[in-house]
């Protein structure tokens, strides 16, 4: 992922905010990013419910909160004026950390954007900072695809990724909810998740995901297991068994004809076996014995 490309994506959507550098390291605080903004009460600012990112690392928030206590919010929060409140477009992490720091006011930059632009900016900002987990990212792409009817190529252009990367990301949503949760919680990697897509049964998907977590399996291990599972069992030497059956039947018929009584050839799995010859009286037994070489 090229940070430069993502920067261009934001500039394309908001040309007037060229100076807002969303650095890829994930830091929201640096002197070089300081920009003036309108100060508003922090209670008037609210998060966007459609924001792609749903999970925030508590330890990272506390670390950012400590920085804000010392230096303040150095990069304004991008918001939309909703009349009764300001809705966050980009900067929810800064807003949360500012609340933890006990700030009463925060700097904001107010913009009037469409719902599609808001989602795109939130998505681009989070991807650039690598803050979205794989499932959140896939859900954001899905929303751009379904709600705003963007094509895969258009989404790829906006976030500076390949079309294949967008498609592969969205494929993760085919996993059952339990497995998706394990990806979010980083119990299994994206590589593991992609390997599990070869399993259609949701219960079996989850069973294998738990096996990955419990046994610390590598992606290669999982691929081998699934390949083995999907590989049809080889016919257990059907042709040789059929040939042997034919041979045994032929021997039985020859012995029946020679001895004039019922004969059974009983084979065993290890290649051994026995021949059963029936007789109906002592005289019949003597007759059979005389016929045997």
Catalytic site positions: 92
Q: State how far the alpha carbon of 99 is from the alpha carbons of 41, 54, 66, 224, in Å.
A: 11, 17, 11, 49
Q: How many residues does the chain have?
A: 293
70 phi and psi, to 5 degrees?
Answer: -85, -40
Q: For 32, list phi and psi in degrees, rounded to 5.
A: -70, -20
Q: Is the dihedral of CA 31, 36, 40, 46 positive or negative?
A: negative
**Residue 46: which residues within 8 A CB-CB, separation 6 or more?**
85, 86, 87, 88
Which residue bears the tokens 């069973």?
A: 207
Q: Parallel, antiparallel, or unpaired: how do β-strands 273-277 and 263-267 relate? A: antiparallel
The residue to which tokens 């032929």 are assigned: 250
Instruction: Please give the Cα distance from 111 to 89 (Å, whole number).
Output: 9
Neighbours of 130 (CB within 10 A): 13
- Round to whole Å and give the CA distance between 290 and 292: 6
Task: Determine the Cα–Cα distance for residues 276 and 265; give it in Å rounded to an integer.
Answer: 6
């Amino acid at each position: 992922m090229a940070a430069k490309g993502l920067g261009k994506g934001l500039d394309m959507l908001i040309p007037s905010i060229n100076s807002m550098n969303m650095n890829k390291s994930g830091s929201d605080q640096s002197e070089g990013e300081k920009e003036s903004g309108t100060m508003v009460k922090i209670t008037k600012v609210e998060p966007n419910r459609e924001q792609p990112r749903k999970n925030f690392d508590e330890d990272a928030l506390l670390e950012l909160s400590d920085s804000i206590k010392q230096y303040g919010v150095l990069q304004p929060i991008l918001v939309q004026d909703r009349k009764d409140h300001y809705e966050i477009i980009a900067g929810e992490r800064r807003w949360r950390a500012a609340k933890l720091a006990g700030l009463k006011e925060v700097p904001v930059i107010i913009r009037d954007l469409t719902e599609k632009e808001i989602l795109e900016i939130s998505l681009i900002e989070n991807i650039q900072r690598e803050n979205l987990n794989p499932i959140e990212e896939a859900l954001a792409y899905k929303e751009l695809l379904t709600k705003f009817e963007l094509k895969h190529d258009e989404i790829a252009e906006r976030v500076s990724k390949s079309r294949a990367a967008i498609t592969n990301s969205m494929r993760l949503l085919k996993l059952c909810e339990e497995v998706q949760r394990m990806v979010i919680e980083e119990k299994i990697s994206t590589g593991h998740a992609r390997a599990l897509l070869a399993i259609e049964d949701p219960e079996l998907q989850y069973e294998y995901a738990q096996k990955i977590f419990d046994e610390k399996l590598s992606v290669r291990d999982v691929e081998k297991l699934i390949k083995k599972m999907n590989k049809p069992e080889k016919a257990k030497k059907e042709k040789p068994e059929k040939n042997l059956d034919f041979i045994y039947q032929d021997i039985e018929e020859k012995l029946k004809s020679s001895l004039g009584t019922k004969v059974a050839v009983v084979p065993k799995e290890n290649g051994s076996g026995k021949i059963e010859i029936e007789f109906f009286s002592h005289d019949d037994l003597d007759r059979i014995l005389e016929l045997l070489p």
